[in-house]
Amino acid sequence: MQTQVTLNLPEDLYRSAEQLAVGVKSPLQSVLTDVLSAALGVWDVVEQPVQTWPDERVLAVCDSQMSLEQSERLGDLLDKQQAGSLTADERPELWALMRVYEVGQLRKAKALAEAVQRGLRPPENL
């Protein structure tokens, strides 16, 4: 289920979101949805508990990875941050990609624990 929302964003926030969308080569609406999901998903507001997922979904999340494009971009931005050359325009993109990575890792860890609990994966795969 989806709910349509109309937002009035400050101009600088809108520009940052546009730049992030260009950087990750995704539509602006998808980027804003992903950023909100990543920010709010940390508190398990968005997703049903892993215990309610069917086995197929648990296993799919166990094996999930950040897209290659996002992973490469995250690596590039982290390298620039380490070198001290990350621009102000790149900071929001780095933040968003870090959130995507962190939330993905958290979901994966929960799914792996659930897979072991259900006997779908042996404990040594953790």
Give the span between the Cα atoms of 58 and 65, in whole angstroms: 14
pLDDT tens, position by position, 49-63: 999 999 999 999 999
pLDDT tens, position by position, 9-49: 889 889 988 988 888 888 999 888 888 876 666 555 457 89
Give the span between the Cα atoms of 95 and 74, in whole angstroms: 9
Domain assignments of the chain as residue spans, ordered by start = 11-125
pLDDT tens, position by position, 80-93: 999 999 998 898 88
Query: Above 60 in pLDDT, residue 113?
Result: yes
Give the span between the Cα atoms of 21 and 34, in whole angstroms: 10
- Mean pLDDT value of segment 73-101: 91
Give the span between the Cα atoms of 126 and 115, in whole angstroms: 10
Quote the strand ranges of 72-116, DSSP E: none
Give the span between the Cα atoms of 113 and 97, in whole angstroms: 24
